[in-house]
A and B are shown apart, each in its own frame.
Chain A
Amino acid sequence: GIQVEQSPPDLILQEGANSTLRCNFSDSVNNLQWFHQNPWGQLINLFYIPSGTKQNGRLSATTVATERYSLLYISSSQTTDSGVYFCAVGRGAGNQFYFGTGTSLTVIP
């Protein structure tokens, strides 16, 4: 399978601060997604971004597929951003998805 590494594993921010989360993967992929798992355990898709850059409000993501990494930017963080952020990658027939171990974000007021 594809190895997915996320960094940092844990992050504590003051409300209003910015942050960058990183996802490295070990092989070429044609599907990359970022998810947020809220404190109640629900997994929400943030971005489908196999390449390029996308923005959605205070969040943006960039994937450089040729260098096998993706970045998730959170600006002006809010307490509701707390939770775990996962990167998932996929390749080939059947679209298996491999997940990283996540970045646990805590935003304090």
Chain B
Amino acid sequence: NAGVTQTPKFQVLKTGQSMTLQCAQDMNHNSMYWYRQDPGMGLRLIYYSASEGTTDKGEVPNGYNVSRLNKREFSLRLESAAPSQTSVYFCASSGGTSGSFSGANVLTFGAGSRLTVL
């Protein structure tokens, strides 16, 4: 079991370039998330998908778009990268669905993707 797999692990972009971060999970989880981590600020939610076919904005969605391609895959796109988007990006998944309060709502994280925008 690979768990949550993110690609790429490292990327350097120039201002204005676009790119897509890919995330896939093999745990049959319903919910998937994209977070960014900046020094001293913990993890902040960018977008999430409570179930296949739905996506919602988190705390810091500006400058990003997402696609829940199927139950396994959830991608994050930067259309026009800016230096403020330099960060470490984490994808995560959990087993719960909207309204579910079970213990299956444990978050499992990918290894992270370090993005630098020059």
Task: Please determine whether A41 and B88 come into contact, CB atoms closer than 8 angstroms.
Answer: yes
- Least CB distance from A96 to B in Å reads 6
Asked whether B2 is an interface residue with its Cβ less than 8 Å from the other chain, the reply is no
Interface flags for B96-115 (1: CB within 8 Å of A; 0: not) read: 10111101011111011000
Q: In this complex, what residue of B is CB-closest to A102?
A: B42
Task: Please determine whether A48 and B43 come into contact, CB atoms closer than 8 angstroms.
Answer: no
Residues 40-96 of A contacting B (Cβ, < 8 Å): 41-43, 45, 48, 86, 88, 90, 93-96
How many Å lie between the Cα of A4 and that of B31 in the bound state? 22
Residues of A within 8 A of B74 (CB): none
Residues 29-56 of B contacting A (Cβ, < 8 Å): 31, 33, 35, 40-45, 48, 50, 56
Q: Which of B45, B58, B99, B107 has a CB less than 8 Å from the CB of A45?
A: B107
Task: Please determine whether A100 and B42 come into contact, CB atoms closer than 8 angstroms.
Answer: yes
Task: Please determine whether A93 and B107 come into contact, CB atoms closer than 8 angstroms.
Answer: no
How many residues on the B side are at the interface (Cβ–Cβ under 8 A)? 30
Task: Please determine whether A95 and B112 come into contact, CB atoms closer than 8 angstroms.
Answer: no
Task: Please determine whether A88 and B107 come into contact, CB atoms closer than 8 angstroms.
Answer: yes
Q: Which of A35, A86, A95, A101 has a CB less than 8 Å from the CB of B50?
A: A95
Asked whether A99 is an interface residue with its Cβ less than 8 Å from the other chain, the reply is yes
Task: Please determine whether A43 and B56 come into contact, CB atoms closer than 8 angstroms.
Answer: no
Asked whether B75 is an interface residue with its Cβ less than 8 Å from the other chain, the reply is no
4 additional contacts, CB 8 Å, given A31-B101, A95-B50?
A95-B94, A97-B33, A97-B45, A101-B42
Query: Which residues of A come within 8 Å of B, CB atoms?
Result: 1, 4, 30-31, 33, 35, 41-43, 45, 48, 86, 88, 90, 93-102
Query: Which residues of B come within 8 Å of A, CB atoms?
Result: 31, 33, 35, 40-45, 48, 50, 56, 58-59, 88, 90, 94, 96, 98-101, 103, 105-109, 111-112
